[in-house]
Amino acid sequence: MRHLIISGLLLTVVLLGACSRNSRSDPADLPGLEMVENLKFKAADSTYNDLLQKDPNALTALYGQGLVLERQLFYYDALYKYFLIIEKEPAYAPAHEGKIRILSRIGPEEELAYALEEYARLNINDWKFYFNLAKYYLRLTRTDLALVNLEKARKLGLERPLYDILRAEVLWQEGKFDSAETVAAAALANAAPSALFYGEAAEFYQIKGLSDSAIILSHQAVTAEGHTYEDIFNLFFRCLENNYFSDARKIMYGVDSTGETRSFYYFLEYYYYMARQEYYRASVATFINLNSFPNSITSIWYHVETRSKLRDLMSCDNEMDRMNIMMSRNKYQQLFYDFMQYKVAMMKIRLRDFVSAEKRFNEMTGWRKETKAYLMTWASILHNSGRFELYDSTMEVYYNRYHTRPDWLTAMADVHAEEAIHKYAEAEKWYRQVLAENNWYRPAYDHLTGIFIRLKQYDRALQIMNEYPDFVRRYPRTAINKALCLVEMNRYDEGLKLFEENIIHLKKDIVLFERLIDILMRKYETDYTGRVINMMLQLNPDNPDFLVLAAVTQSDLKNYKKALETAEKALVVEPAFLEAWIQKAYAMYWLGQKDEAFALFEKLNRENYDNLIVQLFYSITLVKEKKDMGKTGNLVRTAVGQARYLFKSYLNIFNYNMADKRYKMAIDDADNMMVLFDDNPRSYYYMGLAMFKNGDKQARTYLQKAIDMGLKGDELDQAKAMMNKLG
C-alpha cells in the first residue's frame, strides 16, 4: 500500500532513462555516466573501483564515485569524495561544482559561500562557469557578486533570456520590483524552451512568493531539453519547501523501494516526512538506511537530525560520538572532518547543550570563526550560559562593525529575539533600523512580525503589517499571515477575504489551510470552517491531501457521513493513500460501523506499525470503547506528540487516563495542554473537568477561565453544570 507506483508524467521523468545523458556539470568523458543516469549504481560503482585499482589517483573515477553517492542522496558521503578530489587537484572543476550542488541543498550558507570563493579562483573562461557563480550567489542573496559574474557570463556568450531572468532575480532582491518584472517578462517572451531557463524562471517566481508558478515551471524543467537529475531534485525539494506534498509524493512513489534504489527511496522519505513534521516516520526511514549503511556519514547524520526533532538526546549524542570515532579511525580528510565538527557544534546548540557547543566552538580555527553564523551563535552561547554583560558588550561590538549590512543586523536582531534571550524591544529596534534603510528587505519584516505572532500579540503584529503595507501587497504569504492575524482577532470576514485573494497563488500549500482551520475550530466558528473547506476543495478538488484534511475537519464537526464520503473520494484519487484509509475507518466507527472500522484499523496498524497517525486515530476509538485498556494505553502513549495532530494526541491521553479513572495523571495531561495550547479554552475546561472528578474545588477557577475565553457547545453546558455542583 505504501509504495504505490503512480503512472504519468512524473513517473516517466523519474524512472530509468528519464534524464538527458549529458549533465550540465559532469565531465563529458566520464566513464559509466550512462549507468549512473539509468540508476545502475552498483555497476557504475564497480566501474569506478576498477579504474581506481589501476590508478588510485584517477580523478574521474573518484568523481564518478562521488556522483554515484550524490545521485542516491548520500550527500555527506559524496561531499567527502569531492573534498578529497579538491585536495588532490584544486583545479578540478567538476568536484567544486558537485560540492556546491550539495552545499546548496544541505547548507549551511557560510559553507556554500566559502565553496563559491574557492570555485571562483579557478577563473575558467566559459560562460557556464560564471553563470554557476551568479546563480548560487543569488541563492545567498549576494546580489553584488551575482551581478559581477552574470555580466562576465554574458560577455562570454550567455544567451540573453537566461541573462535577463537572472538579472530579474538580482533586481528583485535589491528591491527594484518594477524593473525586475519588466526584465523577467522580456526573458519569458524570448526564451527558447530549455531546462536551464525554466529552472531559473522557477527560482524567480519562488523569490516572488508565487509558489504555483514556481512549481509549474519546475515541472516544465524536468521534461524540457537538457534536463538532468538536478531538475528532478529541484522539483521535489521545491514541492516540499512550499508544502505541495501530493506533488512530492508522486515523485517519491515513482522510485522503487527495493533493489538498487532502496536507499535512494528512503532518503526521499526522510526529506518528505521531515517536511511533513512526521518526525517519527522520518526516523524510521533513516534507521532503515542506517542499518543497511552503518558507516555512511549521511545515514548517521540524517538519523541524528530526526532524533533531535524527537528530543532523543541520548541517541543524538551516541550517533555523533560514533561518527567522530569512525572518522578519526579511518583518517578522514581534515577539511571534511572540520566541516562535520562544525555541523556537530551547531547541532549541540539546537539540543541546548551549550557546554559541549562552547568547547567545540573554542576548538575551531580558520575562516569559520569570522562567519555570521559562528559569531551570532557565539553570542547566543554567552547569554545562555549566564554571561549577560559579556553578551551585551559582544553584541555592541558586532553592531559597531556590521550595522550597515541588512543581513548582519537582521541576524543580530534574531539573536536578541531568541525565546531564551527575549530581548524583544532591542530586536524590534534593530529590525526597524534595517527596514528604515532598506524598506524592501523582507527577512527583517518577517522576523519582526514573527516575534509578535509567536507571542500571540496579534494586535502588535497587525500594527507592524499596516506600517509596511507593501509587503502584504507584494507577497501572498505575508498577506496570508495578516489574514490569519485578523482571524485570531475575530475579524473573520476581513481575514477570510484577504486569505482567499492570496491563496490562489499558493493553492496547494496545505499547511496554510491547516493553520486557518485550526484557528477557526479553536474558536468554535463552524460556519466559517465550512466555508474554508468549500474554498480549499474548489481550488483542489482532486488533491488527496486536501480531501483528507476536509475529512478530518468534517469528523471534528461530527459530520461523519460527509467525512466518509470525502475519505473515499481521496482513495479514488490515490488508492494507497494511508491517511485516507485512516479517516475512512475513523468515520465508519462514529457512524456505528464499529466491527468494520476496528477490522480496518487492525489491518492498517499491522501493515503500518511505525505510523503514529494510525495509532492515534485507532486509539481514540479504543479509548471511547474502553476496550483492551492495556493495549490501548501503549498506542495512546506512543502517539503522544504527533506533530500534525498535537492537540488531539494530548487530549487522547487525557481521555485515556480519565476513562481509567487516573484523575491525577489526567490533571498532569491537562497541565501540558495549558502550557502548549494556552490560547485554547478547551485546555482549561479539561483541567477543570479532571479536578472536578478528583474532588478538587479549584476546578471552578479553570472552568470559569474556559468560559471567559469563549468555551462553547456541549462543553460549555457541562462546565456550567459542574460549577453549579461546586456551589
Model confidence band, residue 9 (pLDDT cutoffs 50, 70, 90): very low
213/220 Cα distance (integer angstroms): 11
581/571 Cα distance (integer angstroms): 7
Q: Has residue 121 got a pLDDT over 80?
A: yes
476-483: Cβ within 8 A, 24+ apart: 476/209, 476/210, 476/502, 476/503, 476/505, 476/506, 477/209, 477/502, 477/506, 477/512, 478/209, 478/442, 478/445, 478/446, 478/449, 480/506, 480/512, 481/449, 481/453, 483/516
Please tell me the predicted confidence (pLDDT) of residue 29: 66
Q: Has residue 15 got a pLDDT over 70?
A: no
State mean pLDDT over 396-406.
Answer: 96
Model confidence band, residue 31 (pLDDT cutoffs 50, 70, 90): confident
DSSP class of 26: S
Please tell me the predicted confidence (pLDDT) of residue 1: 34
Q: Where is mean pLDDT largest: 225-239, 251-265, 310-324, 489-503?
A: 489-503
DSSP class of 422: -
Q: Has residue 227 got a pLDDT over 90?
A: no
Please tell me the predicted confidence (pLDDT) of residue 365: 84
- 517-531 per-position pLDDT tens digit: 999 999 999 999 999
CB 486 within 8 A of CB 494: yes
Give the contacts of 147 (CB within 8 A, at least 6 positions apart).
134, 167, 170
Please tell me the predicted confidence (pLDDT) of residue 27: 62
Give the contacts of 492 (CB within 8 A, at least 6 positions apart).
486, 520, 525, 528
State mean pLDDT over 170-184.
Answer: 96
- 545-598 per-position pLDDT tens digit: 999 999 999 999 999 999 999 999 999 999 999 999 999 999 999 999 999 999
Model confidence band, residue 727 (pLDDT cutoffs 50, 70, 90): confident
Please tell me the predicted confidence (pLDDT) of residue 11: 40
Instruction: Work out the percent of the chain whose per-residue pLDDT is above 90.
Output: 85
Mean pLDDT of the chain: 92
281/273 Cα distance (integer angstroms): 6
* CB-CB neighbours of 638 under 10 Å: 17
* CB-CB neighbours of 7 under 10 Å: 9
Instruction: Work out the percent of the chain whose per-residue pLDDT is above 70.
Output: 96
> pTM of the full predicted structure?
0.92
The lowest-confidence range among 125-139, 261-275, 555-569, 634-648 is 634-648
CB 489 within 8 A of CB 504: no
Model confidence band, residue 26 (pLDDT cutoffs 50, 70, 90): low
The SS3 of residue 192 is coil
Please tell me the predicted confidence (pLDDT) of residue 499: 98
Closest CA to 209 of 177, 185, 182: 177
Amino acid at 633: G
DSSP class of 428: H
State mean pLDDT over 444-462.
Answer: 97
628/202 Cα distance (integer angstroms): 53
73/646 Cα distance (integer angstroms): 31
Please tell me the predicted confidence (pLDDT) of residue 2: 35
- 634-691 per-position pLDDT tens digit: 899 988 877 678 899 999 999 999 999 999 999 999 999 999 999 999 999 999 999 9
Please tell me the predicted confidence (pLDDT) of residue 379: 96
